[in-house]
């Protein structure tokens, strides 16, 4: 197939890990007979430096003409003054809204190497294979905001339509996996949560009666995620709860450097990014772990292009590189593997030339 991919390296370690993502896409194209054209655009702090705008119009245009977008990370201490008129994160939030990517998929399936690195006891991590579906374009992130010297508000607002469309995404995943959906809310306190709970309950009964549904309160879930993570399959939740719980879930995987994400809507363009941040403390040193970005490329191949064989090959190659001890510093204290070496190790572990018939 032919596809056009826009790369948004962003700030900090973003450019280093996205460079490995690009090499991986080129390797997949060569081995499987695809043609991927690519272009790069600015987002976040680097875009503020260049133009004062964290999401310049040229970047939006580059994303809208792409078939998929691969993003590194945004932000850094240089731009984190709370009183600054613009922040790098606004670029990412506006991009999510512009692309309409309301469903953020964040799978967590600890690899043994990561599990060893996790502070959670090994027996609790056995059989952990879960995926978050975080609502990404609503809630308090996008509600009306106000700030005076004396008060501030972030309105949390959800419509039935917003809840339904992301619930369908989660339900489809649950049906293709182990048939269990855990919906997380704060229905004992929040009106939005009560709307979520009744909407999820009704839609699942009407459209997905074969999927088992449970509702858990977010404070309890924060605990269960660490005390019985193997019990969960698909976890559906609103934007802010999902932001918090997915960082917590990264503890299960042992490193933020191993977790990919896919943000999907009903439009054709998906947005793919590692869940880690820009890691300014190690930026520019060539030691950042590129695996989360490479796994995000696998999600891109699967969800945007339907290339399941290629996606599986990338995931297997990353897993094999980890098995073989190709480890960056976040995965083993005295490890000395560079970003580029880890990237090459994955590419070297892809199956050799498997050209498909045209």
> For ligand IPM, which is the closer residue by CB, 16 or 310?
16
**Which residue in the block uniquely carries the two structure tokens 């299960």?**
252
Cβ(290)–Cβ(20) under 8 Å?
Answer: yes
Using the minimum distance from each CB to ligand IPM, give the nearer residue, 89 or 129. Answer: 89
Shortest Cβ contact with ligand IPM: which residue?
A: 89
Residues 277 and 11 sit within 8 Å (Cβ to Cβ): no
Largest Cα–Cα distance of the chain, in whole Å?
Answer: 67
DSSP state of 247: H
Nearer to ligand IPM, 142 or 291 (CB): 142
Assess 248 for contact with ligand IPM (CB under 6 A): no
CB of 277 to ligand IPM, least distance (A): 7
Closest-CA residue to 182 (of 198, 171, 193):
171
Pull the structure tokens for residue 298. Answer: 């696998």
Q: Which is nearer to Mn ion, 124 or 240 (CB)?
A: 240
DSSP structure class, residue 149:
S
Q: How far is the CB of 249 from ligand IPM (least distance, A)?
A: 11
Clarify whether 186 is annotated catalytic: yes
State which residue, 36 or 272, has the beta carbon closest to ligand IPM. 272
Min separation Cβ 160 and ligand IPM, Å: 23
> Does 247 participate in catalysis according to the annotation?
yes
Give φ, ψ of 81 to 5 degrees.
-60, 120
81 as an active site residue: the answer is no
What whole-number distance in Å separates Cα of residue 26 and Cα of residue 21? 9
Angle at 177 between CA 231 and CA 270, to 5 degrees: 110
| φ, ψ for residue 116, nearest 5 deg | -65, -30
15: tokens are 């450019």
Residue 248 binds Mn ion (CB under 5 A): no
Concerning whether 324 is annotated as a catalytic residue, the answer is no
Strand pairing category for 130-135 and 234-237: parallel
Only one residue has tokens 């590419």, namely: 347
> Which residues are CB-neighbours of 70 under 8 A, at least 6 positions away?
5, 6, 7, 8, 18, 21, 25, 272, 273, 293, 296, 297, 300
Q: Which CB, 137 or 319, lies closer to Mn ion?
A: 137
Of the residues 126, 145, 219, 281, only one is catalytic, namely 219
Q: Mark the segment that binds ligand IPM (CB under 6 A) among 85-93, 208-216, 299-307, 329-337.
A: 85-93
Q: Which residue in the list 32, 141, 158, 208 is annotated as catalytic?
A: 141
Using CB under 6 A as the binding rule, whether residue 92 contacts ligand IPM is answered as yes
Question: Is 219 labeled as catalytic in the residue annotation?
Answer: yes
Query: Is residue 89 near ligand IPM by the rule CB under 6 A?
Result: yes
Q: What is the smallest separation between the CB atom of 295 and ligand IPM, expressed in angstroms?
A: 15
The contacts of residue 144 (CB under 8 Å, 6+ apart) are 153, 155, 157
By CB under 6 A, tell whether 287 contacts ligand IPM: no
Contact call for residue 243 and Mn ion (CB under 5 A) = yes
Taking CB under 6 A as the binding criterion, the range among 86-94, 161-169, 184-192, 338-346 that sits at the site for ligand IPM is 86-94
Residue 181's beta-bridge partner residues?
Answer: 213, 234
From 20-28, 123-131, 208-216, 241-249, span contacting Mn ion (CB under 5 A): 241-249
- Check binding of 40 to Mn ion (CB under 5 A): no
Residues with catalytic function:
141, 186, 219, 243, 247
- Write out the residues near ligand IPM by the rule CB under 6 A: 89, 92-93, 243
Binding site for Mn ion (CB under 5 A): 243
């Amino acid at each position: 197939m032919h596809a056009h991919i826009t790369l948004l390296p962003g700030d900090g370690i973003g450019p280093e890990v996205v460079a490995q993502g690009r090499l991986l896409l080129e390797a997949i194209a060569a081995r499987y007979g695809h043609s991927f054209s690519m272009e790069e655009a600015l987002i976040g702090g680097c875009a503020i430096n260049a133009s004062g705008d964290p999401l310049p119009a040229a970047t939006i245009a580059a994303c809208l003409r792409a078939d998929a977008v691969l993003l590194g990370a945004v932000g850094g201490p240089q731009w984190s003054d709370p009183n600054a008129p613009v922040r790098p994160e606004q670029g990412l939030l506006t991009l999510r809204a512009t692309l309409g990517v309301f469903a953020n998929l964040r799978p967590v399936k600890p690899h043994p190497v990561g599990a060893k690195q996790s502070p959670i006891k090994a027996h609790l991590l056995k059989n952990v294979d879960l995926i978050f579906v975080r609502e990404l374009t609503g809630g308090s992130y996008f509600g009306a905001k106000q700030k005076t010297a004396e008060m501030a508000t972030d309105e949390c607002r959800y419509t039935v339509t917003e809840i339904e469309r992301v619930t369908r995404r989660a339900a489809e995943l649950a049906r293709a996996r182990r048939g269990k959906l855990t919906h997380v809310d704060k229905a004992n306190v929040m009106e939005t949560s009560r709307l979520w709970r009744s909407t999820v309950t009704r839609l699942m009964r009407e459209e997905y009666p074969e999927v088992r549904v449970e509702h858990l309160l977010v404070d309890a879930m924060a605990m269960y995620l660490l005390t019985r993570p193997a019990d969960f399959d698909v976890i559906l939740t609103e934007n802010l709860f999902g932001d918090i719980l997915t960082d917590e879930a990264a503890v299960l995987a042992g490193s933020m450097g191993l977790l990919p994400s896919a943000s999907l809507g009903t439009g054709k363009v998906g947005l793919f990014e590692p869940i880690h941040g820009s890691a300014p403390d190690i930026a520019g040193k060539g030691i950042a772990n590129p695996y989360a970005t490479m796994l995000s490329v696998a999600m891109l191949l699967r969800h945007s292009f339907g290339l399941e064989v290629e996606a599986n090959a990338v995931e297997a190659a990353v897993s094999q590189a980890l098995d073989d001890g190709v480890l960056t510093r976040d995965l083993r204290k005295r490890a000395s593997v560079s970003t580029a070496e880890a990237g090459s190790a994955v590419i070297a572990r892809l199956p050799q030339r498997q050209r498909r018939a045209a």
